[in-house]
Structure 1
Amino acid sequence: MSNRGSQPSYVKYLEKGVEYIRDNPEKAAIAGLAGLLLLGDSEEKSQYDIQFVIWDVEHGDSMFIDSPGENIVIDLGRHQNGFSPTDYLKQSGIDTIDWLIISHPDKDHIRDIVAFDDRYDISLYTRPDGAAKYIRHRQESVYPNDELYQNITGKFLEFEERRFSYHEPPIDRGQLRVYEFSLSPSELGMTPAHELDTDERGPSLNNLSILHVFEYNGFKLVTMGDLEEDGIELLLERSDVRRALRGTNVLVAPHHGRESSYSTKLFDTISPDLVVVSDAGGTEHSAVQKYSHQASGKTADRRDSDSVVRNVVTTRKDGAIYFGANSSDDYRVTID
């Protein structure tokens, strides 16, 4: 288990980050790498006990949590320009990742998993139950000649076989409390993998995504992977889910802010300050405007200009997105 005090100082992060940006200007500009690095001096950053960074990996997800007790990675998307969150963490002096969370194993959520496994050993691993059999079916029957798919899902299945330690929620990691909720294939009425035809892709894995609530001194950030409307609403039938969600400050929109994952019932339970959308541009099925109407607004500090009040921030327009928090009454949002 890592100790935050043993990690390099934020001055060192800044120095390494500036070097990376100087050596890789195009990657840095496109991927919004300044989200972790160019936030100011170490004194400014150290006022926050916990930091969340949501990277720009286009159509995908990748998040890093630097908490007082450990370093956590949620999903392993990768930008098409070559930006690897794993490489970036290593180059920034992050030597230990304690907990890896894969919300679900669609390609855009695990594209960087091979690089991650080459660089880090972890003690805690979370992934959705029931997904592995569908992945094996797709490997054998649907994408046997897709080298990328074979490589990254093969690594996902290797993690599956290792079965790192698992804890029942809520998971207390020092002052950080984590809630995990998910649905099984049987609860979703999914056709069992062994009953699929040889050339049949099978059901979407989106609703196997794990809903996570990260709570630190009352500050709550919620992620949902690619849960769709029906999956969200099935989970909302559970009182423990509704209880954990209440008081959400920041919602990372499920399925990259797609219309198919927008649930009005969700907002009977939560009233977030801010919604984050991780996505590339060009989709005609975005629910960003709907999310904007559901959020109350939060001041976001731009790195190169004045602050602005926003209801929704997106990696497409705002680059990497940073949250520093001490409590629900004391947290900061920084965007490009």
Structure 2
Amino acid sequence: MQSVCQKLFIVIIISFSGLTLHEVEALSSYDEVKSLDVHFLDVGQGDSTLIVSDDKETAILIDGGRPDEGEKIVQTLNQAGIDELEWVVATHPDIDHIGGLIDVLHDIDVENVLDSGRTHTTETYKKYREVLKEKNINFFVAEEGETLPTSIADVKILNGYSDSKIQNESSIALYVTYKNDSLLLTGDATAETEKDMMKEYSVKADVLKVAHHGSATSSSSPFVKAVSPDIAVLPFDKDNEFGHPNAEVVQRFRQSGAILYSTEQSDSIYVALTGVGPHVDSKAWEGEGKRYPKATPKIKPSSQKNDDIDNSIYVNGATAEELQQLPDIGPMVASFIVEYRTKHGKFKKAEELQEVNGIGRAAFEKIKPYIIL
């Protein structure tokens, strides 16, 4: 595969279904840039990363947090003198990643959007697609192995669309190289996604945006060892109910020698890539992360539906700890249920629980007699 440096790409305006990266014209001239400025923005329990050339002439925004964070991101861009974005990257269609992009796409001049190709049924995703169409923004679907055409750095796509039922496995992962410095952005990539990336690519990086807010679903021991970052950034909100960041994940990074930083403590985190090692102007995060509570006594499975309301679980309002009373539902799956409910709204029918990571048909049949909506 030829890089953008080796061939000329021609922009062809076609239907909203998406262009290909081979149709963009760009010259890789990042050697002329003194530094690459990376801002991990504080968007609460969400993700948003801004990459800017030091002259502010070129900027890339990856994700935008939840919908109520969009206006704040627009203000941040305006205050920084950034009135145009070369690329906006929507790593996957979860609300805490694309929500804030709606305001950005509406209020900022955006040249191109890179999307995972994964669709969603939420109102937030619908609004995101509508503003793309309204603004007639060039729309691209990420292709693993491609190089993103941009003038400020080498940006390689390590992961894109997956037909897995798990949305997070379609998270776009970007490997950014600026001179001798490297940055890996992983969206909400799962441990399975990490495994696939390690098979195909070198993932060693100086700076890592930790996947999925430090969830136990990501940052496996082999992956942390392979990346071996000097700096690891955790974007999360301290009051989140998902158990982010997971204490074992935090310990894993510390044992690898990484210095941790968090948006919860430092607000936005600024990292300068100069080609001679990254520089951070924030205080290191010394938190320990969250440990899953011990499971509470389980409801004993029964072949008969139990109509005793005191022995049933209201899945649309139960806490993670309360959900652990259900048969075979441990702390991790309980947190997945809460996370799914937060992102997609209340469960409309019991069968929808099978869309939750960790709940297959067999597990669903066990818990079905004990849940109410």
Bin the TM-score by the shorter chain. Answer: 0.5 to 0.7
| Residues 127 and 159 of structure 1: CA distance in aligned 2, closer, same or farther (over 3 Å) | farther
Residue 211 of structure 1, aligned match among 138, 160, 173: 173
Residue pairs, 1:183-198, within 5 angstroms:
183-186=160-163, 190=164
**TM-score, normalised by the number of residues in structure 2:** 0.58
Residue 234 of structure 2, aligned match among 242, 261, 277: 277
C-alpha contact (below 8 Å) 1:76/1:109 kept by paired residues: yes
Match of 2:157 in 1: 180
Q: Which runs of 5 or more residues in structure 1 are unaligned?
A: 1-46, 140-145, 191-202, 298-310
Match of 1:109 in 2: 97
Describe the superposition over 1:15-63 as per-residue Cα deviations: whole angstroms up to 9, x where unpaired.
Answer: xxxxxxxxxxxxxxxxxxxxxxxxxxxxxxxx95210101110111111
Letter in 1 for 2:260: V
Letter in 1 for 2:251: K
Match of 1:251 in 2: 208
Residue pairs, 1:96-135, within 5 angstroms:
96-129=84-117, 131-132=118-119, 135=120
C-alpha contact (below 8 Å) 2:92/2:167 kept by paired residues: yes
Q: Distance in 2 between matches of 1:228 and 1:172?
A: 26
Q: Distance in 2 between matches of 1:251 and 1:60?
A: 16
Residue 139 of structure 2, aligned match among 156, 163, 170: 163
Letter in 1 for 2:273: A
Residue pairs, 1:1-336, within 5 angstroms:
49-67=35-53, 70-78=58-66, 84-129=72-117, 131-132=118-119, 135=120, 138-139=121-122, 148=124, 150-152=126-128, 154-155=130-131, 162-163=138-139, 169-171=146-148, 173-174=150-151, 176-186=153-163, 190=164, 203-238=165-200, 241-242=201-202, 245-246=203-204, 248-282=205-239, 283-287=242-246, 288-297=249-258, 311-327=259-275, 329-335=276-282
Higher helix share: 1
Q: Distance in 2 between matches of 1:94 and 1:212?
A: 22
For residue 269 of structure 1, give the secondary structure of its aligned residue in structure 2: helix
For residue 290 of structure 1, give the secondary structure of its aligned residue in structure 2: helix
Q: Distance in 2 between matches of 1:160 and 1:232?
A: 34
Describe the superposition over 1:74-95 as per-residue Cα deviations: whole angstroms up to 9, x where unpaired.
Answer: 1111485786212321233211
C-alpha contact (below 8 Å) 1:107/1:152 kept by paired residues: no
Letter in 1 for 2:281: T
Root-mean-square deviation (Å): 3.0
Report the structure number with the largest CA radius of gyration. 2
| Residues 152 and 184 of structure 1: CA distance in aligned 2, closer, same or farther (over 3 Å) | closer
Tell me by how many angstroms 1:182 deviates.
1.7
C-alpha contact (below 8 Å) 2:115/2:142 kept by paired residues: no
For residue 62 of structure 2, give the secondary structure of its aligned residue in structure 1: strand
Q: Which runs of 5 or more residues in structure 2 are unaligned?
A: 1-32, 284-373
Describe the superposition over 1:266-322 as per-residue Cα deviations: whole angstroms up to 9, x where unpaired.
Answer: 13422110110001114435235234324424xxxxxxxxxxxxx111111121100
For residue 182 of structure 2, give the secondary structure of its aligned residue in structure 1: strand
Q: Distance in 2 between matches of 1:265 and 1:157?
A: 41
C-alpha contact (below 8 Å) 1:48/1:325 kept by paired residues: no
Query: Which of structures 1 and 2 has the larger relative contact order (alpha carbons within 8 angstroms, sep 6+)?
Result: 1
Q: Percent identity of the aligned residues?
A: 23
| Residues 117 and 289 of structure 1: CA distance in aligned 2, closer, same or farther (over 3 Å) | closer
| Residues 83 and 121 of structure 1: CA distance in aligned 2, closer, same or farther (over 3 Å) | closer
Q: How many pairs are equivalent?
A: 244
| Residues 335 and 164 of structure 1: CA distance in aligned 2, closer, same or farther (over 3 Å) | same
Letter in 2 for 1:312: L
C-alpha contact (below 8 Å) 2:213/2:244 kept by paired residues: no
**TM-score, normalised by the number of residues in structure 1:** 0.64
Letter in 2 for 1:315: T
